[in-house]
Chain A
């Protein structure tokens, strides 16, 4: 059990164990380990599952880890996490969920994450999702992310789902204040009969707010992916949304862009492309001595890297 947990931690947080800095480890629906630093406090909520993470104003350079692992079959976990990033702080938060399900019952982790970035705050937030196990039970992850960005704040969100998750329904909702900038990168790999649905709504409310969404996905076998990014420019603002998907086998991918300008100086751009791996790419890599299968793996990995 310990090794399984360490492997999951290594995959989702790039750490075999948590032993320094600010961290919170949740396993099979319960808080297991928690540690705060002078600048980042992590406390458990009372009455409902979840944690409060508060970063002091001006705190710089710290990294907080808040992974969740599920190693038992039949776990149905739900958490409410609130993040407060103080004025002019600059920190990184590594989250993520790894599920190992060897049983026949579904294991599910749902999270509602609310972020409040104070004026001038900078946050890099990385969320990796991963599923594994020999059981027939589903591995389900449904994250909801709510982001409130105040004047001059900057947020970089990297959402990665690197395989093994049976079904996911991701909802993201953000409001950007004056001069706030949100850069969101989504990377997704689905295979087998998995389904992944992502709804993203970003409101550019403050003058000169900026949004960039880069979504790259690969759909294999009979998996199904749906992207529905919505960018709404309510004032003079800029948004660029780019969704690229590689479709393979009998998979299905839908990219449903929605852009709205409620102001004449809102510049909102959306680009979307879905297509198979270009045959010329495969041929080129074969002329280096790679087999067709090796070439395909290189192209898919590079696309999602």
Chain B
């Protein structure tokens, strides 16, 4: 279980700004929490704070009761936190198989690699020997990134906009893969997403806007609010921004 307590992230670089303001929530084991909200609202920053890539100005992060706020990325990874980047880096000379094995922490059989890649809609025979370099398209790189997190045995998996750059067919496979996370009661997942099909997988939805939690609850509670906001936004666009429908 992940507990986030009064988390604040303030930047002073290039002008002062509060990116996240006093956030508190809990992600129970065996559950999927989807974080959504407008772009620039602080969702990716929150993911980076949980992984240890950024350090909070104040507040606490606890994993299964252990305070991990002061721990490094490596220490958090070894405790069982994993993070699939929104924009993953490329590695010259590293094959897809080698990257999966590094993520897993030990050698993987070809069928095991094949299974991981097919879960993100990639045919392993074509990809295992390919390098994770500029020869891969953005969508391929993104799917390999997701597969590296699936290769790890983690207690908390964080996926940052997994749908970005992924075609419709692969997206369906991805949704099925996320659905299967529920079968592992030890693992909790945070998925940052704007996609309704992913939001519908959530046991709990957290809406972050302007650095704060603007809404939190079950699908039944939050989805109507989100759909209302979308309609309102479309209405504003139709009326040239005066909000009168």
Residue numbers in B under 8 Å from A283 (CB-CB): 53, 73
B74 touches A286 (CB 8 A): yes
Which of these binds chain A: B4-12, B60-68, B92-100, B187-195?
B92-100
- B73:A287 contact, CB within 8 angstroms: yes
B228 within 8 Å of A (CB atoms):
no
How far, in whole Å, are A299 and B78 apart by their CA atoms in the complex?
Answer: 20
Q: Mark B75-110, 1 if CB is under 8 A from A, else 0.
A: 001100111010111011110001000110100000
**Interface 1/0 per residue, A230-268 and B, CB below 8 Å:** 000000000000001000000000000000000000000
CB proximity to A under 8 Å, residues B12-44: none
Name the contact of B83 in the complex, choosing from A287, A290, A305 (C-beta under 8 A): A287
Q: Which of A252-305 contact B (CB under 8 A)?
A: 278, 280-281, 283-292, 298-299, 302-305
Q: Which residues of A contact B91 (CB under 8 A)?
A: 281, 299, 302
- Chain A residues 193 to 239 lying within 8 A of chain B, measured CB to CB, are 216
CB pair A288–B102 under 8 Å, yes or no, is yes
B89 and A288 form a contact (CB under 8 A): no
Judged by a CB distance under 8 angstroms, whether B152 is at the interface is yes
- B148 → A minimal CB distance (Å): 8
A288 to B74, CA, bound (A): 7
Is the CB of B51 closer than 8 A to any CB of chain A? Answer: yes
Chain B residues with CB under 8 A of A278: 89
| Minimum CB distance partner of A286 in chain B | B73
**Interface range, B side:** 20 to 34
Q: Are B92 and A288 in contact (CB under 8 A)?
A: no
Query: Which residues from B are CB-within-8-Å of A280?
Result: 85, 87-89
CA distance A303 to B93 in the complex (A): 5
Contact B98 A302 (CB under 8 A): yes
Q: Which residue of chain B lies nearest to A273 when distances are taken between CB atoms in the complex?
A: B92
Least distance between B50 CB and chain A CB atoms (Å)? 11
Query: Chain B residues near A299 (CB, 8 Å)?
Result: 91, 94
Which B residue's beta carbon lies closest to that of A298? Answer: B102
A116 vs B78: C-alpha distance in the bound complex, in angstroms?
56
Decide: B89 and A284 in contact? CB cutoff 8 A.
Answer: yes
Residues from chain A with Cβ under 8 Å of B78 in the complex: 289
What CA separation (Å) do A67 and B61 show in the bound complex? 58
CB nearest to B131 among chain A residues? A302
Q: A281-B91, A302-B91 are in contact. List 10 more A-B contacts (CB 8 A).
A: A216-B92, A281-B89, A286-B77, A287-B73, A287-B81, A288-B103, A288-B148, A289-B74, A291-B74, A298-B102
Residues of B within 8 A of A (CB): 51, 53, 72-74, 77-78, 81-83, 85, 87-89, 91-94, 98, 102-103, 105, 148, 152
25 example contacts (A-B, Cβ-Cβ < 8 A) are as follows: A216-B92, A280-B85, A280-B87, A280-B89, A281-B89, A283-B53, A283-B73, A284-B85, A284-B88, A284-B89, A285-B102, A286-B77, A287-B51, A287-B77, A287-B82, A288-B148, A289-B74, A290-B74, A292-B74, A298-B94, A299-B91, A299-B94, A302-B92, A302-B94, A304-B93
